[in-house]
Structure 1
């Protein structure tokens, strides 16, 4: 074989090896779109409105397209992440525990709002003689979604702690599907009382979308860990870090950060970990909502 032919073969071999190395490193560069969703604990239009500026901010920080895909129910948010149709989801504490169990630990909570370290639920009513949890016996009550932490699991666990079994001591239990729908059910007289997350309640009161002369809070729960942004465990470590850093960099000291944080009803974001949700997992098992 001539020297020129050898040189040609060497060049082709080097090119092939170079292409192979490029392909080997491709997975870390392959993800061009971050597919994001959230549990539908509020109306779809409200979720889209809340996410839009956050999505635009993440696009700038990550250097990739960020797409928000609404889901029909809480279970769909869990399945979407586990089945790799979604990359990141805004979960409630209970939905995170469900995703962790369904995926056998293959999901990672990255960040939560500072407010989610001691989140609370409120019980509301229009009935004058309902003033404590015990007064709910023989009454009708609406929770939110069955998979909601703050709209069902934790309110149920506090009722059980007060020796009230919703399924036997109450006249009827309803599930509205979302926190704002619970307020509407109580205000409209469809149920005697309702349980929802304190953040949505305060937002509706602040926006004057609820008549506080008619609908009032009669019980506020102790604090518990709740919402977080969760990703799949198989996400590239550098992307996980970029996402965490982007959330942690949000600050109310600048206009963009303040606008995003206000929409997320957050003072700031902080790191979180799976261990924070052990109490939620225990409460779900005690309430018979998760296999023991």
Structure 2
């Protein structure tokens, strides 16, 4: 089986979109994979946008707590913080010297902000090189990515190819992308794609009172209580349908179409479904958030494994380049 590697941004507490779109699918993939998988928290990457050290620590803890709460098997997974393995920074420098400027200038991550160059730091510009080092350091075979990251994966292959060709070696393994066509866009509270940048996300780990307020913020229309409603145009119904079973979805659809059923009722049922479906995960998340030392120990164990694998590759790169 292939070695799978994926990174998770430490830009905040994982929301429902992250859980359904990334965490659960990745954990299922890991369970089906016979070879050890690599999952890392991309805290180096977060520095391109956030300079708040305490917030970064808090976000890193929350990301780790969420993955552990959903049952990530750390015996089968090398689970680590990117910044605790400085080998990746060294490899980034080596790879940057094989990366042509036009390639980086064409990266979406740069072009999206290139009209305001004063807002672009060198870290954002070289983001694809660091991402390449993340992958190549551990000789990953398979990298699950969204379509928005496919270009960066292709750049990783190009950089590895350039290194191998110029150095006359096959040392750097060319990774393959794994894009799931089944991943659906998770709607946010306003109907747009759920995103921290839109501030339209559902945080399933909130205490009940705050969770209720979060769910009540879901935008609905002004159809009166007594009138029938169209479930297919309702944000509450769409979110509910992502978590509910077939019988529950059928019943809620009937409630909408039958009248005398308000959006407040639907939001209440959605909240009850979250509390029931994720009861164990919410409990585990709270435990890990209040026991950061335990999370740190689990990450440190993964970081020791990552060091062993990464150093083996890095030493070979050093030798190729005359640094060892």
Shorter-chain TM-score tier: under 0.3
**Structure richer in strand, relative to its length:** 1
Greater RCO (Cα-Cα under 8 Å, separation 6 or more): 1
TM value normalised by structure 1: 0.26
TM value normalised by structure 2: 0.24
